[in-house]
Structure 1
Amino acid sequence: MTTPARPSSHSPELRAAAGALGRRRFLTSTAAAAALAFAVNLPAAGTAAADELEPARLAEDPFTLGVASGDPLPDSVALWTRLAPRPLDLDGGLPARRVSVRWELAHDERFRRVVRRGHAWAHPEFNHAVHVDVRNLRPGSVYYYRFRAGDWISPTGRTRTAPGHGARVDALRFGLVSCQRYDQGHWTAFRHLAGEDLDAVFHLGDYLYEYAVNARAGGRGYTDRVIPAHFDHETVTLEDYRLRYALYKSDPDLIAAHLAHPFVVTWDDHETENNYAGGNPENSVAPEEFLLRRAAAYRAYWENMPLRAAQRPEGPDLRLYRRMHWGDLAQFDVLDTRQYRTDQANGDGWKTPTAESEAESMTLTGAEQERWLVDGWRRSSAVWNVVPQQVTFSRRNNPAAGNTTLSMDSWDGYPASRRRVLEGWKASGRQNLMVLTGDVHVHYGLEIKEDFDDPASRTLGTEIVTTSVSSGGDGAERPANWAGYLERNPHLRFYNGLRGYTTVELGRRAAVTRFKTVPRVTVPNAPLTVAATYVTESGDPGLNPA
């Protein structure tokens, strides 16, 4: 229940504070910040009928943000939608009253064979988002779903459940996406992704960016759409983050991708703030102020993703790392490398390693998540152990000859953490490790070496880094540092700097990775190209051109 003494993020008090003290430093009282940051602000039980909005009074389509599904399990799937008749308005076009929403799940897209149906509330406390955990479903099955509010019917989404625990599975095909900055290009990659035959899509972070979006949305170059002025500042408050998600999720190409496939999501930094580390902000602000911002960001993230109640945050904390299985073929250990990491060493950025960055105390995952990961590998019986996560795991030597700097924000800035994880992998006795990564806005195919200083050392796994959907603008097939990177990183087998996404097909004998690109994102509807295809044989973790 909502505690009356804790003001909601919609409250006039908080908005007045934000306006009076400025968007970057709107709350400096430790006690007040703690009260707000750790507020749960759940809908009150037994809400009076007077606080309900009759669905019949919805005069405009409330399903402008589409629908989504996620985290497929053998017997259940998470469904999502959010009611917002006017998504770019400050209130989304709805009063602060709850709305009754009906949902249906069927074997067919015409809903002639409905297998589950029910009712849910779209609460204003959750920005009229709806999360439904549909259970008691058949393993390894395709389903169609939709929502209704009054006379309005949502678009129809397609989803599926995972195969049964331990069931023999011969093939799995999934997509990888990351980094979709709205004002740096069109999301043509999502339109192509929607047409793929996939079992699931893994989103590896930077679903949104906190930076201001101007009236013409930068690189998109709109001539027929004006973005309201309240988007032209960095996100700080809960209202800011909610509006930014509304802008992003109103994109028709992203809507199409969510309609076509269940998503498994994890965040990186920009969903909150660039390069933050645990409770440490990018800039010099009071710790309690950053926790308030993190609480707002995490709350808005959960509200807008197809996640279950188990991921619902409490203040600035949200347990996002989790494990899923696809029969006996694959175990997925989805990591969170932001919330629990120690602060980046050497002032962040690309720096020469020091005793500080190489200290045993440096951790990217936190001790509890690290133990969870390694223990999961010990118990795994899957053919492939796959780790969807955020930042580059393998060594990336600077492409400039003689330059000894490494990225302090990636695993290179936390070598002790990487070593412990790889020692856990070796101790598990498993064979097929695949790490999935986003963040860097380029395609990489990397071999994970036992000793990155010795190119001849044993290869322990493969790392597939997918490029951005739009972040960074058009990019280039061979960026200026292309030759230098390949020369100074012999374990780097593929590098491409265009935008796009990646697909991976796992089989019992091999994994096939296809890096896909579009030539431009500054114009819509660009064609898709398979830039390269690589094969990893089961039991032999190298990357071989197909």
Structure 2
Amino acid sequence: MITRRSLLAGGATLGLTAALGASPARAAARRAPLSDPFTLGVASGEPTHDGVVLWTRLAVDPIAPDGLGGMPSRPVPVEWQIAADEGFRRVVRRGTAIARPEAAHSVHVELDHLAPGAEYFYRFRAAGQISPAGRTLTAPAPGTRSRPLNLSFTSCADYQTGWFTAYRRMAEDEPDLIAFLGDYIYEYGDYKYPVRDQAGGECFDLAGYRLRHAQHKADPESQLAHAIAPWAVVWDDHDIENAWAGDVPEQPDPNFLKRRAAAFQAYYENMPLRRAQRPNGSALRLHRSLRWGSVANLHLLDTRQYRDLYACGGKTGTIGADCAERLEPNRTILGAEQEAWLDRELRDSRATWDLLGQQVFLMEMDWTVGEGKGYSNDGWDGYVASRNRLAAAIDRYRRNAVVLTGDVHSHWAGEVKLDHQRPDSKSVAVELVTTSVTSAGNGADEYPDTRALLAENPHVKFFNGRRGYVRARITPQEMKVDFRSLSRVTEPYAPAYTSGSFVVEPGAPRLNPA
């Protein structure tokens, strides 16, 4: 029997081959035996009130240089089961999918007609082997307010800079949903002094991106987090290339759109996404909304693909001086279509909470201590009009908005103003910024300029510079938030501790100490 305890112990492979029954797919698998094809584990994602996506990708050699996982160049039948109990005695659906070489032998099973607000367990079989089991959940039925959402979120997992212990600690909380807010991989080549050695050099083509994703998925802590709960994902820059903006790369590259198409293809292959997110060359619509009954809507944003170029002459999003360009009224970080979509989502929302899962700092942040101002034009400070339009929509529709942000490799929490150019304007939303899984190394609870930065940005209430994640328990009455930090990632299995706790109440976009 697979239990939550066995999942948290690192996953287990069932030996219940007979339970899946005989089939033509099983016979085909016997004709062409493979060693264990489930080295990348299993995952689920995109829960609705009656469905979920089940994912796996077959690979007998995760770090094969061609990115194809050592798999044969032929389709492989993959059987799947989903059950209402951990022992798979009550299987509610089963079927067969085909893992094709042109999709790196990945499988995306989109299920519907499941029970709302239910816990399920799933597994796959291929080539005579049975996968580890995963746990997943469907969202509550529309209109349901009685079931809380236990959400965990994090970002920025650089394989070379540390161990993925944060994934294990998230899994131990058994959340209902995990949101990953960008930089699931890093496209960089080898570092001079890595904590862990990664396979392959810098990612430029489809083989490189596939290989990088495979090494991340082969990590046991990553597999544990993917197996414990459904995921909702968005990318940031390093999933493709550092500091890309729309169609423009960080450095001149006439082949950038070809590189972006390869990154998009590998991203889809390796994430539990729906067919609606399947790429079309160098385009992929990633913005979408997930609904948890009437408790919360999670609006997942893309701040990379449609943004205008960096303001103030910046190309890499580094801290720079103020300039008039960042205030231009037509500048956008989301693009016109995504802005209009998000406005409609907020207008039509009937949930208590609207969560905005996105990549870069939204509230204003003066990063220069002392005289003068310094802003990151990589974040919404480089797109002030875009931020003001969003803040006005939140205010106009009277939404309880909480922004969930990644990117900056440290924990932050603060309040979003209706207009940050007028510091006395009211707060319209709370922003919770998660630290990284590993990026930037061990970090510190506080840095020499931390208190000065907080003093110069009074709407920012909290900072912690360790690695980790954020967990939140969301009910119609309140949102309880814990910032979870790890003392180290340069060695494995560090314990997690709560570095800060806050409560947010509906109708009051403020951070109250818990």
Say yes or no: TM over 0.5.
yes
Match of 2:376 among 374, 384, 407: 407
1:39-50 aligned at under 5 Å gives the runs none
SS, match of residue 343 in structure 2: helix
Match of 2:153 among 154, 158, 176: 176
Asked if the contact 2:410–2:436 (Cα under 8 Å) also holds between the matched residues in 1, the reply is: yes
1:65-464 aligned at under 5 Å gives the runs 65-90=40-65, 91-213=68-190, 218-220=194-196, 227-228=198-199, 231=200, 233-286=201-254, 289-345=255-311, 346-348=313-315, 349-430=318-399, 432-464=400-432
Asked if the contact 2:300–2:358 (Cα under 8 Å) also holds between the matched residues in 1, the reply is: yes
Asked if the contact 2:144–2:293 (Cα under 8 Å) also holds between the matched residues in 1, the reply is: yes
Letter in 2 for 1:293: R
User: Which has the higher mean CA deviation after the structures are superposed, 190-199 or 343-352?
Assistant: 343-352
User: Which has the higher mean CA deviation after the structures are superposed, 69-78 or 344-353?
Assistant: 344-353
Alignment partner, residue 434 of structure 2: 466
CA–CA separation in structure 2 for the residues paired with 1:244 and 1:479: 32
Q: CA deviation at 1:183?
A: 0.2
Letter in 1 for 2:378: D
Alignment partner, residue 13 of structure 2: none
CA–CA separation in structure 2 for the residues paired with 1:249 and 1:172: 26
Asked if the contact 1:268–1:338 (Cα under 8 Å) also holds between the matched residues in 2, the reply is: yes
**Residue deviations 1:397-431 (CA, integer Å, cap 9, x gap):** 1241113120010000000110111112222133x
SS, match of residue 297 in structure 2: strand
Q: CA deviation at 1:59?
A: 3.1
Q: CA deviation at 1:455?
A: 4.2
Q: CA deviation at 1:227?
A: 4.9
Asked if the contact 2:307–2:334 (Cα under 8 Å) also holds between the matched residues in 1, the reply is: yes
Asked if the contact 2:140–2:147 (Cα under 8 Å) also holds between the matched residues in 1, the reply is: no
Q: CA deviation at 1:245?
A: 0.5
Q: CA deviation at 1:395?
A: 0.5
CA–CA separation in structure 1 for the residues paired with 2:414 and 2:296: 20
Provide closer, same or farther for how the CA distance between residues 299 and 375 of structure 1 changes in structure 2, counting only shifts above 3 A.
same
Asked if the contact 1:322–1:334 (Cα under 8 Å) also holds between the matched residues in 2, the reply is: yes
**Residue deviations 1:70-103 (CA, integer Å, cap 9, x gap):** 0100111001000001110134111211101000
CA–CA separation in structure 1 for the residues paired with 2:498 and 2:278: 38
Q: CA deviation at 1:373?
A: 0.4
CA–CA separation in structure 1 for the residues paired with 2:145 and 2:441: 42
Letter in 1 for 2:236: D
SS, match of residue 258 in structure 1: helix
Asked if the contact 1:433–1:462 (Cα under 8 Å) also holds between the matched residues in 2, the reply is: yes
**Residue deviations 1:174-220 (CA, integer Å, cap 9, x gap):** 00110000000111111111111311000000000000136x98123
Asked if the contact 2:156–2:406 (Cα under 8 Å) also holds between the matched residues in 1, the reply is: yes
Asked if the contact 1:219–1:473 (Cα under 8 Å) also holds between the matched residues in 2, the reply is: no
- Tell me how large the CA RMSD over aligned residues is: 1.6
1:512-523 aligned at under 5 Å gives the runs 512-523=480-491
**Residue deviations 1:485-531 (CA, integer Å, cap 9, x gap):** 11111011100000000001111111111000010000111111011
Asked if the contact 1:178–1:468 (Cα under 8 Å) also holds between the matched residues in 2, the reply is: yes
CA–CA separation in structure 2 for the residues paired with 1:310 and 1:126: 16
SS, match of residue 119 in structure 1: strand
CA–CA separation in structure 2 for the residues paired with 1:467 and 1:446: 14
Asked if the contact 1:140–1:162 (Cα under 8 Å) also holds between the matched residues in 2, the reply is: yes
Q: CA deviation at 1:170?
A: 4.4
Alignment partner, residue 39 of structure 1: none
Q: CA deviation at 1:261?
A: 0.8
User: Which has the higher mean CA deviation after the structures are superposed, 237-246 or 400-409?
Assistant: 400-409
Q: CA deviation at 1:538?
A: 1.4
CA–CA separation in structure 2 for the residues paired with 1:365 and 1:86: 39
CA–CA separation in structure 1 for the residues paired with 2:465 and 2:454: 13
Provide closer, same or farther for how the CA distance between residues 437 and 56 of structure 1 changes in structure 2, counting only shifts above 3 A.
farther
CA–CA separation in structure 2 for the residues paired with 1:447 and 1:67: 37
Alignment partner, residue 29 of structure 1: none
CA–CA separation in structure 1 for the residues paired with 2:56 and 2:267: 13
Alignment partner, residue 465 of structure 2: 497
**Residue deviations 1:405-464 (CA, integer Å, cap 9, x gap):** 20010000000110111112222133x110000000000011111232444431111000
Asked if the contact 2:159–2:198 (Cα under 8 Å) also holds between the matched residues in 1, the reply is: no
Asked if the contact 2:503–2:512 (Cα under 8 Å) also holds between the matched residues in 1, the reply is: yes
Provide closer, same or farther for how the CA distance between residues 275 and 322 of structure 1 changes in structure 2, counting only shifts above 3 A.
same
CA–CA separation in structure 2 for the residues paired with 1:227 and 1:198: 29
Percent identity of paired positions between Structure 1 and Structure 2: 46
How many residues are treated as equivalent by the alignment?
Answer: 484
Letter in 2 for 1:387: L
Q: CA deviation at 1:140?
A: 0.4
Asked if the contact 1:360–1:416 (Cα under 8 Å) also holds between the matched residues in 2, the reply is: yes
Q: CA deviation at 1:56?
A: 4.3
